[in-house]
Amino acid sequence: MNWIFAGTGLALAGLALLAVLGLRVLVAARELGREVDRARRRIEPARALLAERTAEARLSVAGRTPPKG
């Protein structure tokens, strides 16, 4: 009978440990998402400028002038 209680206690302790570790993973994933979003916002102006300059370069290679605005 004592083995049943010990096994049940160990199983519950294992489940509690898995729950704690799962919560830690969720928190870390949320922090990573915030960091990626922050990096995306920092990179966006440079990406837009690069896209604009690339479009201008393609137009100039094709012999056309880029539209103003």
Predicted TM-score (pTM) of this structure: 0.62
How many domains does the chain contain in total? Answer: 1
Write down the pLDDT at residue 69.
Answer: 56
Does residue 61 contact residue 67 with C-beta atoms inside 8 Å? no
Write down the pLDDT at residue 26.
Answer: 98
Which domain covers residue 39, as residue numbers? Answer: 26-59
Instruction: Please check whether residue 48 lies inside any domain of the structure.
Output: yes
Write down the pLDDT at residue 43.
Answer: 97
* Alpha carbons 34 and 45: distance in angstroms, whole number: 18
Instruction: Please check whether residue 31 lies inside any domain of the structure.
Output: yes
* Alpha carbons 30 and 18: distance in angstroms, whole number: 18
Structure-block tokens of residue 13: 């302790």
Does residue 66 contact residue 55 with C-beta atoms inside 8 Å? yes
Write down the pLDDT at residue 59.
Answer: 84
Q: What is the pLDDT along the chain (69 residues), one digit of tens a residue?
A: 889 999 999 999 999 999 999 999 999 999 999 999 999 999 999 999 999 999 888 888 877 665 665
Instruction: Please check whether residue 9 lies inside any domain of the structure.
Output: no
